[in-house]
Amino acid sequence: MTVQIKPILSALRRHKAGTFLIAMQIALTLAIVCNALFIIQQRLAHLSEPTGLDEPNIFVVQNEWVGQATAEQVDAKMREDISVLRALPGVQDATPSNSYPLRGGGWDDGIKLKPEQLQDTSGAAIYFGDDHFIDTLGIKLVAGRNFRSEEITSMNVRDRLSPPVVIVTKALANKLFPSGDAVGKTIYLVGGPTTIIGVVELLQSQSVDRWAAGFAYRSVIVPKRLAISLGGWYIVRARPGQLDAAMRAAPKALFEHNPRRVINDEDGILSFSQVRSRAYERDRGMAILMGVICVVLLAITAAGIVGLTSFWVGQRRKQIGVRRALGATRQDILHYFMTENFLISCGGVVVGTLLAVAINLWLVTRFEMHRLSLVYVLAGVVILLLLGQGAVLAPAMRASRVPPVEATRSV
Amino acid sequence: MFAYYLDLAFRSLRRNTMLTALMVLAIAVGIGASMTTLTVTHLLSGDPLPGRSQHIFYPQVDPDPKRTDDKEPYDKLDYQSAVDLWSAHRADRQAIVVDSRLKLSDPASGAPPVMSMMLSTTSDFFPMFDVPFQYGGAWSAQDDVSRARVAVISADLNQKLFAGANSVGRTLRLRNSDVRIVGVLKPWRPSPQFYMVAGGRFANGDTSDYYSKTEDVITPFFTGLEINDGSFWQFTCWSLPARTGHLQDAPCVWLGLWVQLDNAAKVADYRRFVADYAAQQKALGRFTHAGNTRMRSLMEWLDFNGVVPSDVRLQTWLSFAFLTICLFNTVGLLLAKFLRRSGEIGVRRALGASRAAVFAQCMVESAVIGLIGGLFGLLLTLLGLWLVRQQPVAYADLARLDVPMFLLTFVLAVGTSVLAGVLPALRACRVAPAWQLKTL
């Protein structure tokens, strides 16, 4: 069966204000909903970026020493701690480090290809690690070799960072040497020249905030133990399935070995899933906020459509009665209102699409957002058309139940 | 007449509770969303020193030999420039600021040390920024020069270590040095922590950390440098410092300098003084260029650093778009509501009510809806601010409703609903009485 569009249009012409209001509301809702969906998607994509680590089995211990000690003493204590950790039954491996991915910040350095270069070729996150670093984190060596144990040296915080060899991530290797032959090449850290001996597949930076986005995944592993009298981090990889047990056993063993330390109750020991949720707390908050806004907006728009259509149905009871008396079926009446809403919604989504793109362009200039992909506009259009049809259903059903006898009442 | 319209309005609202509830809800949600974000924006973008900020300035020179005049100078100063400008005492007041982390403990209690932030500054800091004292007071200018082992502590730290008692005269251990407490601040929470703001243009909008709490302990500048030597972070360096964390003779910028200049003539004089200083340093060969000195006022400096986080700005825009949609929604519903009563309006018009009277009646009804919506909107705003306080951001504890924002909630709610009521009310008062009476 077909629905006559022309009579609907001429009826709408008599309700310009109402039609305009519904269409505008749909347009604005569409514009905001697709931009919000897009922001949600971007934040979600950001917070599901991989770190490259064997995350389910890794935890980190933040150890702080009590009392003063020389760099040599600190280094000795740190090495003892690491052997205590490695000896635990539930622990596969452990390494001392200055930081870990997603920590929120740490040592970043500029990398140059030539010593006389004024501008850095790239920024990079610096990770201190021993020959167990790669195995502990569960990252994959894709070229070259791992550090040998004799290459690992201790470093005081006041020393210059100038290791003879380093391992870099593939992302950094590709940036520095696009032809893919990074192994064996010399690069310059702030402290001096060094040779790349290995390339790992993936290792996320210490911060995932916007300021560090320029060098995300560009990391350098230096064969050093950083001896700071304050303390440092131990990255521990538990045997599969034994994370909880290892996380309980680790501080106990460390305190038994040497009680002169502080491991904060609150965040001294974090499983990597806790690290991840802390690092992306704000992004997740923004995504949830946008989601709530979308839902509330859609609800309000739907309520508006229900309200106004109910009013129209009430206003047109007599006409509906006349149509029914002249032979229109209930179906016809139902379809009339559904089609009417569909037409208004179509007008609304056309304006809304333009508005969505305009808002996105403005966001791009003001808030460094990306261009809106058309998929989101399309998703928004479908959502709003369905919403309109859903919202109009109840009043349209009520309209279709208007009895033909209404036509005879006080015409 | 107004009381009568009010009575009519309430009768009408009760007649169709569903429609009324929808309108109230739309306004409440719109108001709740926009007032929450507006309150946060208002708190974050306000003047941290109302009445004084126009006298506070942040001079900058550019000591980096590799840079040129067409670039902005660094956001901070090197040691020599900062100390030279400070010790010239050419402004009404001047203070160098730098902060650093250190271990802090109360030697009398024997409790384990805690990591704290220490601000090292000069004595003018307190009067210049109107810092309120609970007990004691600031150290003297003489203490600055003599590197006295004294400190001022925050209300928070005083609460934590000394249970809020008057701790002036007691001893505090900062790293390995003992200092005597000379002053305890009242709770002081400038928003933002303006005197440490720098580097905002490199933050890409991630600026919520500028709203951190103030430092726990404040020491004289030169005292602080001695106590915590080796723990100072550079803003940036143009070549490698000889010793990490010890920056007095390093090619690094790491210090902020604030000056107070009480009138326009002094501002112009000081601007010239800074430019002359740079030119003199260039003549001495320490600077390679002297053309890019700057001196922004406090608010200009905050603006230059874009201190309001971009997430907050985005949310504010969003919530106003939200309010607009709620406005459209309310217009539609009011239109339905008023025109449904065309019969009643026709009778009133036939009995002699003027168009203006019908219009006024409709507007009173809209305003009543706005007021009720505002009331619920206020509750939603309080809920929204509570949610902001649960967020992991430095400004979370600031998010509270103040009196102007409280009033604005109702102004905005009634304003929105009255605006929404204009078109429907105009339509309602054009109802033709004869036609309506015929169809009754």
Taking the C-alpha atoms of residue A122 and residue A310, their distance in angstroms, rounded to an integer, is: 63
Taking the C-alpha atoms of residue A205 and residue B360, their distance in angstroms, rounded to an integer, is: 64
CA closest to B208 among chain A residues: A282
Angular region, A253: left φ>0, alpha ψ -120 to 50, beta rest: alpha
Q: Give a three-class secondary structure readout of chain B.
A: CHHHHHHHHHHHHHHCHHHHHHHHHHHHHHHHHHHHHHHHHHHHHCCCCCCCHHHEEEEECCCCCCCCCCCCCCCCECHHHHHHHHHCCCCCEEEEEEEEEEEEECCCCCCCCEEEEEEEECCCHHHHCCCCEEEECCCCHHHHHHCCCEEEECHHHHHHHHCCCCCCCCEEEECCEEEEEEEEECCCCCCCCHHHCCCHHHCCCCCHHHHCCCCCEEEEHHHHHHHCCCCCCCCEECCCCCECCECCCCCEECEEEEEECCCHHHHHHHHHHHHHHHHHHHHCCCCCCCCCCEEEEHHHHHHHCCCCCHHHHHHHHHHHHHHHHHHHHHHHHHHHHHHHCHHHHHHHHHCCCCHHHHHHHHHHHHHHHHHHHHHHHHHHHHHHHHHHHCCCCCCHHHCCCCHHHHHHHHHHHHHHHHHHHHHHHHHHHCCCHHHHHHHC
Residue B6 has what pLDDT? 85
Question: What are the structural domain ranges in chain A?
Answer: 5-48+282-408, 67-259
Percent of chain B at pLDDT above 70?
A: 99
Give the SS3 label for residue A5: helix
Which of A300, A319, A351, A392 is most worth mutating to test chain B (most B CB atoms within 10 A of its CB)? A300
Q: What is the mean pLDDT of residues B148-176?
A: 93
**Buried/exposed B52-89: b ≥16 CB within 10 Å, e otherwise:** ebbbbbbbbbbbbeebeeeeebbbbbbbebbbbbbeee
Cβ–Cβ gap A289/B315 under 8 Å: yes
Taking the C-alpha atoms of residue B34 and residue A320, their distance in angstroms, rounded to an integer, is: 41
Which of B68, B318, B319 is most worth mutating to test chain A (most A CB atoms within 10 A of its CB)? B318
On chain A, the residues whose CB falls within 8 A of the CB of B204 are 210-211, 213, 368
Cβ count within 10 A of residue A105: 13
Residue B130 has what pLDDT? 92
Length of chain A: 411
Residue among A22, A31, A366 minimizing CB distance to B332:
A22
CA closest to A35 among chain B residues: B318
Residue A43 has what pLDDT? 86
pLDDT tens digits along A43-93: 888 888 898 999 999 999 998 887 777 888 888 999 999 999 999 999 999
Nearest to B221 by CA among B356, B327, B126: B126
Reported as a pLDDT band with limits 50, 70 and 90, residue B348 is: confident
Percent of chain A at pLDDT above 90?
A: 37
Q: What is the mean pLDDT of residues A354-372?
A: 84
Cβ count within 10 A of residue A62: 17
Residue B58 has what pLDDT? 96
Give the SS3 label for residue A186: strand
pLDDT tens digits along B214-273: 999 999 999 999 999 888 988 888 887 777 788 998 899 999 999 999 999 999 999 999
Which segments of A151-228 are extended strands (E)? 153-156, 165-169, 186-189, 192-200, 219-222, 224-227
- In contact, A219 and A170? CB cutoff 8 Å: no
At CB < 8 A and 24+ separation, what contacts does A369-377 make?
A369/A38, A369/A39, A369/A42, A370/A38, A370/A42, A372/A34, A372/A35, A372/A38, A373/A38, A376/A34, A376/A35, A376/A37, A376/A38, A376/A41, A377/A30, A377/A34, A377/A353
Q: What is the mean pLDDT of residues A116-139?
A: 89
Residue A1 has pLDDT above 50, yes or no: no
Taking the C-alpha atoms of residue A365 and residue A290, their distance in angstroms, rounded to an integer, is: 20
Cβ–Cβ gap B203/A157 under 8 Å: no
Residue B108 has pLDDT above 60, yes or no: yes
Give A371's DSSP letter.
P
Q: Which residues pair with B103 in a beta bridge?
A: B115
Residue A2 has what pLDDT? 58
Q: Minimum mean pLDDT among A61-75, B55-69, B77-91: which range?
A: A61-75
Average pLDDT score, chain A: 87
Can you say how many angstroms the Cα of residue B5 is from the centroid of all Cα atoms in its chain? 43
pLDDT tens digits along B362-377: 899 999 999 999 999 9
How far is the CA of B120 from the CAs of B49, B97, B102, B160, in angstroms? Answer: 20, 6, 12, 21
Q: What is the mean pLDDT of residues A22-30?
A: 90
Taking the C-alpha atoms of residue B430 and residue B375, their distance in angstroms, rounded to an integer, is: 32
pLDDT tens digits along B180-196: 999 999 999 898 999 99
Cβ–Cβ gap B25/A300 under 8 Å: yes
Taking the C-alpha atoms of residue B430 and residue A17, their distance in angstroms, rounded to an integer, is: 14
Q: Which residues pair with B246 in a beta bridge?
A: B243
Residue A411 has what pLDDT? 44
- In contact, B183 and B137? CB cutoff 8 Å: yes
Taking the C-alpha atoms of residue B75 and residue B195, their distance in angstroms, rounded to an integer, is: 12
Residue B168 has what pLDDT? 93
Q: What is the mean pLDDT of residues A351-373?
A: 85
Average pLDDT score, chain B: 89
The H-assigned helical ranges of A280-329 are 281-315, 317-325
Cβ–Cβ gap A210/B243 under 8 Å: no
Cβ–Cβ gap A282/B340 under 8 Å: no
- In contact, A183 and A144? CB cutoff 8 Å: yes
On chain A, the residues whose CB falls within 8 A of the CB of B427 are 17
Residue among B176, B324, B336 minimizing CB distance to A307:
B336
Cβ–Cβ gap A311/B340 under 8 Å: yes
Residue B277 has pLDDT above 90, yes or no: yes
